[in-house]
Structure 1
C-alpha cells in the first residue's frame, strides 16, 4: 500500500471498568508497526449519542464524520474490539453499527475479541452475520483473548505476547490485502453503484 489509509479502531464496550481500554491500548501500540495505516480510535463514550435513532442529532453527525460516509472517502477499514456478553456482543456496539449503512459498504472489518473460555469468538461470529448484511467483508483471521483479566498491565502491555503478536501480524496482513483491493475497487466504481444497477435490473 503506497499511501497510508485510514483504519478506524472501534470500542465495543462502554461498561465502567472495562477491559476494552487495556485491549485497545495494547492494540494501538502494536499497530505502530503498520505505518501503511493511519489509526483513528473511536470510543462510543466520547459521543453523547441519543437513545433513539435520530439522524439529525449533532452527535450522530460527528460520529458520521469519524466513520466516514462512503462518498467522503474516510475510513477504509475497521477493527472492532469486542467483549463477549452472554454469547454475543454488546448493545452499545450494535447501536453504533445500526446507526449507519454506507460507511461499512465494500470495506473490510477485522476483529479483536476477549471474554471467558471462548475468548469472545462467539461474539465475533455473530458480528460476521451483521456485517455481511451491511455489505462489508470480514477478515477470517482474528485475535482473541481468553480470560484476559490478568493478562494486561495498566499501560496495555501483554504477558507472553509472542503467540498473540503472530496472530495479529497474520490478521493485519489479510486486512491490508483486502483494504488495498477494496480501495482500488471503490475507486474504479463506487459500491453504491451496484445497488442502483441491481435495482434497475429487477424492474
Structure 2
C-alpha cells in the first residue's frame, strides 16, 4: 500500500454512521453507499459506526477517554469524510454532534460529504445543520449530497437518481480531498 504522503495514494475516507438509535437503518445505508464507493480505486474506505462506541462518556470530560482518543485519532488520519445521517426532528442526531465535538483540529482543511436519509426532505435538513457545524470546524462541506427517502408510507428504493448522486459526491470528494491533502502537505493549515 502506498503512503499517505504519496500524491497518488488513494484518498483515506472515514465513513461515519451517525445514528446510534435502536432500530436505525444507518448501518444499511452506509453499507449501500460503501458498496458503490468501494468500486473506485482512488478511495480507501473505513466505516466508523458510532454504535461501536458505547463507551463514549455521557458528558464531556476534562481529560479525553480512551474511546475519545481512538475516535479522534482515526479522524486525524483521514483525508476526508462521508457522514451518514438520519434526519431527526429536522436535524441530525445528538450522538453525531457529540462525536464531532470530540475532535477539532482533526477536521481542519478536509472535505466532508453527506449521505442523508429521512422522510420527504430526504434528510437534507440534517445536512444543512451539519454544514454549519463543519464550517465552524474549518472543514470543506461538499455542495452535493445524497438524500434517501426511507421513512413514511411510501419509502423509495434507491434508484438511478441516488446512484448518480453517489457518483457526483465521490467525484467531488476525491477532487477536494486530493487538493486539500496536497495543500496540507505543502503548508500546515492555520485557523
TM-score by length of 2: 0.90
Q: Which runs of 5+ in 1 are unaligned?
A: 69-73, 153-158, 196-203
Q: 1:151 to 1:86 in 2, by over 3 A?
A: closer
| 1: CA distance, partners of 2:107 / 2:70 | 16
| 1: CA distance, partners of 2:168 / 2:93 | 26
Q: Which runs of 5+ in 2 are unaligned?
A: 1-6
- Which aligned pairs between 1:22-171 and structure 2 lie closer than 5 A? 22-47=28-53, 48-54=55-61, 55-68=63-76, 74-148=77-151, 159=157, 161-171=159-169
* Number of aligned positions between the proteins: 182
Instruction: State the 1:161 CA deviation.
Output: 2.3
| 1: CA distance, partners of 2:97 / 2:31 | 22
SS in 2 for 1:28: helix
TM-score by length of 1: 0.85
- Runs of 4+ that moved beyond 2 A: 147-152
- Structure with greater helix percent: 1
Instruction: State the 1:5 CA deviation.
Output: 2.0
Q: Which has the larger radius of gyration?
A: 1
